[in-house]
Amino acid sequence: MEMYDLLLKLFLCPVLSAIPSPEPGEDSPLTLRCQKKLHPQKFTRQLLFSFHKNGHTLQNRSLHPELSIPGVKERDSGLYWYEVALEDHWIQKQPSSGDRVLFPIAVIGAQVLSKVGDSVLLLAEHPPGFQVREVIWRSLWPSEELLAMFFRGSLETLYHSRFLGRAQLHSNLSLELGPLQSTDSGNFSVLMVDTGGQTWTQTLQLKVYDAVPRPTVQVFIAVAGDDQPLKTCQVFLSCWAPNISDITYSWRREGTMGFGVESHSLFTDGQVLSVSLGLGDKDVAYSCIVSNPVSWDLATVTPWESCHHEAAPGNASYKDVLLVVVPISLLLFLVGLFFAWHCGLCSGRGPCWCRTWVEEVDPRGRRVKAGPPST
């Protein structure tokens, strides 16, 4: 007992942690680490670490304060704890169940993907020959809730959870959820009990995504440099979609098979594409494809339409129109200015270009006299 008390004083506040997470995905590595914090007092004896799970010893009296599992399975889920011992066989007294710090590990099995507004079916699978007597469906994260139960031949789903009215337990004991909301992502488990009292637990991860909206593509024309070849157009295509989770951008040149954009032509995680167009690319269209794991959409543009290197047949370009309209407008303005100046010099006592000419007609409508008015 004295050695046990000494060990507790030297081994201050040990913490058991899971790396990378206490909820690892199936087949991913998991490390349980005892983060020891020794007392400043000098202590030369080695510490030995033992790890246990559900009453079974996984690692016994090792110098390593870690337990590594290369690829976890659903069967690795359970309650873990550790013991600390001294190298000279003075073993730490086994703590009582009330003092033992249990560390739960939940291995996430199959991942189920779905979309907002849809319904999803969580399958209850069990080993062959497993005669199911009772089933309990629960939500584990972000909150632990009871969702549905099969007991004594009856199905029950009217539990006050966030899925109340949206959960249905089928005769094959699979759970249907829907219509789904964006906040329904989380971890779920089904506990099955057979007629002999044996249990089987399955854990599923549900991820709900928003439907991808139609993206918007803008075309920007680069300023031509001295080194840019004639009759070419350098454009930047910018694609944008509202900020939704796990969205990816990709580009496709329409009318070709297996078009791949070179890496140096893409910018901003694929949102911007740089393309050099020639005369043979007038009708070439590019599509921006926006996708997430459950949906996708696209928008298509013909970037040459935004280039002004060559006008369309039968039409004048904007620059050509300016070259004609501006000189004519300037000439008309100068002519009008000259006539205004000349007319200002005229007086009513002599002939002048600016005089007003009148025309007289007889009662029969015939012209009698035309000329400047009499003074």
pLDDT at residue 299 above 90?
yes
Q: Could you tell me which of 202, 203, 214, 275 has the C-alpha nearest to residue 247?
A: 214
pLDDT tens-digit series, residues 51-75 = 888 668 888 888 888 888 888 776 7
Tally of CA atoms within 13 A in the half-sphere of 55 that contains its CB: 0
What domains are defined for the chain?
A: 2-105 (2.60.40.10), 111-209 (2.60.40.10), 216-306 (2.60.40.10), 316-375 (no CATH)
And the tokens for 180?
A: 């789904």
pTM of this structure = 0.54
Mean pLDDT to the nearest integer, 282-298: 92
Whole-angstrom CA distances from 118 to 190, 205, 210 are 21, 16, 10
pLDDT tens-digit series, residues 320-359 = 444 555 666 677 777 677 766 666 655 454 455 444 444 5
With a CB cutoff of 8 Å and minimum separation 6, the contacts of 131 are 194, 195, 196
